[in-house]
Amino acid sequence: MACTKLGSKPEAFRLDGNSWICSTGLPSDVVIEVGDTSFHLHKFPLLSRSGLLESLIGECSRDDEQKCTVRLDKIPGGAKTFLLVAKFCYGIKLELTATNVVSIRCAAEYLRMNEDYGDANLIAQTENFMSEIFGSWPDSIKALETCEEVLTQAEELHVVSRCITSLAMKACVDPSLFSGPVSTHSGSESPAGAAAWNGISAAGKADSVSEDWWYEGACILKLPFYRRLILAIGNRGMKPERVAGSVMCYALRHLPLMRRQSSAAHSTVSSSSEADQKNLLEQIVELLPYQKAVFPTNFLLRLLRTSMILHAGSLCRENLERRIGAQLDQALLEDLLIPNMGCSVETLYDIDCVQRILDHYIEEERDVNYPNADCVEGQLMGGSHALTPMTMVVNLVDSYLSEVAPDVNLKLPKFQSLAAVVPDYARPLDDGIYHAIDIYLKAHPWLTDSEREQLCRLMNCQKLSLEASTHAAQNERLPLRVIVQVLFFEQLRLRTSMAGWFFVSDNLGSTQNPSCNLVLARTEAPNPGTTTQQFAVVADDVKERVCELEKECLNMKQDLEKLVKTRGSWNILFRRLAIRLKSRFPKLPKPSTDAKGSETPTVPLIDGNSETPTVPLIDGKENHHNVEKEELSKI
């Protein structure tokens, strides 16, 4: 830490109770009172250096009193600072440091210790030294800290603004332009020695400096000074990510609740500090850069949780919720599980807060992607399972619903409202929402049939995977109508798959024999290694399977029509049909690839005299739409 020595005379002041006495061999002729402390001094050294003391002592000398008494209750820095000023007037040794120079400078200004009362007076000496410490980051930090004691005078003399300007300039300098940890240890020297500002370290070796070297020093400051420093740094064009890093460091240092790993629901704040913590939190939130994604989402959620504990203002919480909503796709499930700390605690977690955050996300996505909404929807509905921001949010919401569903106090409208915020096209699969619905039904067995059907409208049975469909078909908690839909769409999916397979076979056969549209002539050249007898056997087997499939589909349709509304009968029927289908219809062979890279069917070649399969071989897309219309009309 920089320092400057003034004066050359030995120490002559001694403390006697609350009185400082100058032992120069001459009797004291003036008493200066500062608060409860008195200084027994001599007029001449004071009159020769201070314009204010000259005026006050001159007025006092007109009286007949032998000893003059002057009160200086408004002197900046109080008795401690005046002692240093008195030593300067007597020429006694003292040191100017970063921790006392600001108060001495303000006291010198108050006492009018300028060049009119002697060369190299105290104002000039302190100004020269402050110019020196403004070149050092740690000294500037310490000087700025001491400004709080004499804030009014320091502001009038522009000491605060000069400190902040000096610090902002240094923080914005490219770290690669200098070496050594310039300020990471606030005045302590680096192990290799003090690092020079010009980039040459004492060891003669350039050390790498990270961009966050100034965070720790800035975090020492009180919030008003830190706020002004951050604004000054931002005005100088520092990257928002670096500013955000400093704000995070400051919040974690000064908000104890941000550092606690325990659940926020069990965190307590002492009544004496709660108001201060609340004010600090609200001002930190105001400092957050407005750019998106400069803060980790979990940090913003921790701030939000802390604001709830401290009962921060609605504007503060809304600000945080909007910021979190803008980057909700980066959130984790555990961060969203915010305990309910409202006055009327109905549910375990604050679902209303998550609802508002989700609303902000959907609103922003709508604003950003509105011109391309049709394109985005088409990509998601087209079967793309890429983890886009929207699908990540959908998965997060479905997981959150599964976590809160067991809460018996969670009302059906609130569950539906949260699930319905996400558009239907954003879910490539509905397995997640089905899982959440199943958990909710299990935890709320008292729901009526009407409420169960209303809840199940949140999912699309067509978008369930095979595993989810199998589970849903045997799920006794689901309404009967939903189970029928699940089985219907599984049947439709099976028919479409079969039709598509025959469509591929038909197209491949047509490329070999353009004159035949539905069947392949047996006279065509067979695949190498395939005999005519093998073709005939496989062809008969395919025809038999297709006939059996049609019979089973017809039986399933009849069984559905005769189905009674009892759960037991339904489960028995489903198991019987599933077993029959599984045992009778093994997986159909896939088309193979020949040496030329083109697909050739493993279906046997059928001649013109063979019986045509009863399932019409038509275009796969047309078959899908026709079968869907036909079956929907029957259900």
Would you place residue 305 in the very low, low, confident or very high pLDDT band (cuts 50, 70, 90)? Answer: very high
What pLDDT score does 380 carry?
47
Among 322-326, 420-424, 577-581, the minimum mean pLDDT is found in 577-581
383 has pLDDT over 50? no
What is the bridge-based pairing of β-strands 19-22 and 13-16?
Answer: antiparallel
CA distance 75 to 110: 7
CB 258 within 8 A of CB 306: yes
Amino acid making up residue 496 = T
What's the pLDDT at 500?
58
Q: Is 3-133 CATH 1.10.3720.10?
A: no
pLDDT, position 532: 57
More confident residue, 314 or 366: 314
Residue with tokens 């008795």: 79
Of the two residues 622 and 457, the one the predictor is more confident about is: 457
Helical pair 480-512 and 466-473, crossing angle rounded to 10 deg: 140
Q: How far apart are CA 230 and CA 362, in angstroms?
A: 32
In Å, how far from its chain's centre is CA 187? Answer: 33
Q: With 60 as the cut, is the pLDDT of residue 190 above it?
A: no
Which tokens sit at 62?
């007109």
Q: pLDDT exceeding 90 applies to what percent of the chain?
A: 47
* Integer Rg of the chain from CA: 42
Q: Average pLDDT, stretch 89-118?
A: 94
What's the pLDDT score for residue 308? 93
Query: What pLDDT does residue 278 have?
Result: 93
pLDDT at 281 over 50: yes
Query: Given a cut of 50, is residue 119 above it in pLDDT?
Result: yes
What confidence tens digit (pLDDT) does each residue in 23-46 have? Answer: 887 888 899 999 999 999 999 999
| H or E segment and range at residue 17 | none
Q: What is the mean pLDDT of the chain?
A: 77
What's the pLDDT at 268?
47
- Bridge pairing between strands 30-34 and 68-71: parallel
Provide the residue count of the chain. Answer: 635
173 band by pLDDT with thresholds 50, 70 and 90: confident
CA atoms of 485 and 475, how far apart (whole Å): 13
Number of alpha carbons in the 13 Å side-chain half-sphere of residue 372: 7
State how far Cα 81 lies from the chain centre.
Answer: 47
- DSSP 8-state class, residue 339: B
* pLDDT of 567 strictly over 60: no
Q: What is the pLDDT of residues 500-550, one digit of tens each?
A: 555 555 554 555 544 444 333 333 444 544 455 655 665 666 667 667 666
Q: In what order do the strands lie in the sheet with 30-34?
A: 13-16, 19-22, 37-41, 30-34, 68-71
Over residues 354-360, mean pLDDT: 95
Residues 197, 203, 209, CA angle at the centre, nearest 5°?
50
CA–CA distance, 439 with 456 (Å, rounded to integer): 12
Specify which residues 6 forms β-bridges with.
Answer: 94
Q: Is the pLDDT of residue 310 over 70?
A: yes
**Claim: this prediction has a pTM higher than 0.85:** no
For 388-423, what is each residue's pLDDT tens digit?
889 999 999 999 999 999 999 999 999 999 999 988
**Closest Cα partner for 431 from 393, 474, 460, 473?**
460
- Residues 50-80 have pLDDT tens digits of 999 999 998 887 665 567 899 999 999 999 9
pLDDT band at 603 (very low <50, low <70, confident <90, very high): very low
Percent helix / strand / coil, the chain, rounded to 5: 55, 5, 35
Instruction: Sort 145 into a burial class: Cβ within 10 Å, 0-12 / 13-18 / 19+.
Output: middle
Predicted local confidence at residue 67, as pLDDT: 74
Contact 431, 402 (CB under 8 A): no
Looking at residue 94, its pLDDT comes to 92
Higher pLDDT, 583 or 481: 481
Mean pLDDT score, 84-103: 94
Distance CA 536, CA 212 (A): 78
Q: Over 80: is that where the pLDDT of 367 sits? A: no
Using a 10 angstrom Cβ sphere, with 0-12 exposed, 13-18 middle and 19 or more buried, the burial of residue 511 is: exposed
DSSP 6: E
